[in-house]
Amino acid sequence: MEKSSSKSYCLRRLRLLVKRHYAIVLSSAILAGIFFYAVKVEPTLRRITRMEFADEQIPAELDGLKIAFAADLHVTYEGSNALSDIVQAINREQCDLILLGGDFINGNGRGPLMTTLMPTLEKLQAPLGVYAITGNHEYQRGIDAFKDAFANSHLRLLIDDRITLQLANGTSFNLIGLDYTANPHRRSDPQRMQELFSNKGFNITLCHTPEDFPFLPDNAHLTFSGHTHGGQLNLPLLGSIINHPGYGRKLSYGKVRDKNKTLFVTAGLGSAYTQARLFMRPEIMILTLKSTAKK
């Protein structure tokens, strides 16, 4: 009787050990699969997100204006070839205006300089032009070299600058490009904002970080930002793993409305901290304006 009981006990222990071992092996395999997908697969699954922005503040004459927005390329030596694919994908959309939201390069020095990327970026073409702003990585790597790369290019770098663009039908709108700065007092400088947004008409703003958005005046009708990478690494229900806590989920990705102002935050195209993405594929954002103004 004792032998039978001992044998039964051993069998139960063996089954328990097998189940535990199986659970460990299965869990390890799942984690390894997620890691492989995040590092090797999702960063290559570039998407084009096409949206319409309908608003009564958009003049009827701007109805149908098509804008491409790309940010946070963070081009590495290994990813230099992908830049050509990105440029071709944007050009295929045949947009009226192309906007680039900063962080073209890596501030840690582990990638090419802007001068190396310019011959490829200069292939971008749009009737109203191609405009860019600075990101934090441009300052980390050396802002003077970054500015020099734009000096003899048809790409226009806007650093706390405003330009008025005119359509073929004679309608004009303002494009404001904000410089990247970590100084919150500069963001909220009323005089600076008043100067940049003093022109009448519809205003489109380009700023690298969505943290600038709350400080923009009420006539910053449409704003494009990047920097967050949409969280880059996200978990179902929990959201971002590495996103800056100051942004919160509201400013991490997508459309944000604040009274008369609207912000679109892109997921970006590259990666920071780690060359991985999870549940936030890299994207090129295509936005078409739709006027709901009363005629």
Residue 36 shares a structural domain with residue 53? no
Q: Please report, for the domain that includes residue 223, its CATH number.
A: 3.60.21.10
| Domain ranges, residue 198 | 47-291
Residue 88 shares a structural domain with residue 6? no
Q: What is the biggest distance separating any 2 CA atoms in the chain, rounded to whole angstroms? A: 100
Please provide the average confidence, as pLDDT, over all residues in the chain.
Answer: 86
Contacts of 266 (CB under 8 A, 6+ apart): 49, 69, 70, 71, 72, 101, 224, 225, 226, 230, 253, 283, 285
Q: Looking at residue 188, what is its pLDDT? A: 56
- Let me know: does 182 contact 164? Beta carbons within 8 Å: no
Task: Report, as an integer, the average pLDDT of 83-105.
Answer: 96
Q: Nearest to residue 253, comparing CAs of 271, 235, 280?
A: 280
Residue 21 shares a structural domain with residue 154? no
Q: Looking at residue 1, what is its pLDDT? A: 47
Q: What is the pTM of this model?
A: 0.88
Q: What is the pLDDT of residues 4-57, one digit of tens each?
A: 666 676 666 667 666 666 667 667 778 888 878 888 888 889 999 999 999 999
Residue 132 shares a structural domain with residue 7? no
Where is average pLDDT lowest: 12-21, 97-106, 111-120, 246-255? Answer: 12-21
Residue 223 shares a structural domain with residue 172? yes
- Let me know: does 46 contact 280? Beta carbons within 8 Å: no
Residue 32 shares a structural domain with residue 77? no
The tally of domains found in the chain comes to 2
Residue 115 shares a structural domain with residue 207? yes
Residue 22 shares a structural domain with residue 105? no
Q: Looking at residue 293, what is its pLDDT? A: 80
Q: Nearest to residue 223, comparing CAs of 193, 183, 190, 191?
A: 193
Residue 30 shares a structural domain with residue 170? no
Q: What is the pLDDT of residues 49-78, one digit of tens each?
A: 999 999 999 999 999 999 999 999 998 766
- Let me know: does 147 contact 176? Beta carbons within 8 Å: no
Distance in angstroms between the alpha carbons of the first and the last residue of the chain: 95
Residue 4 shares a structural domain with residue 74? no
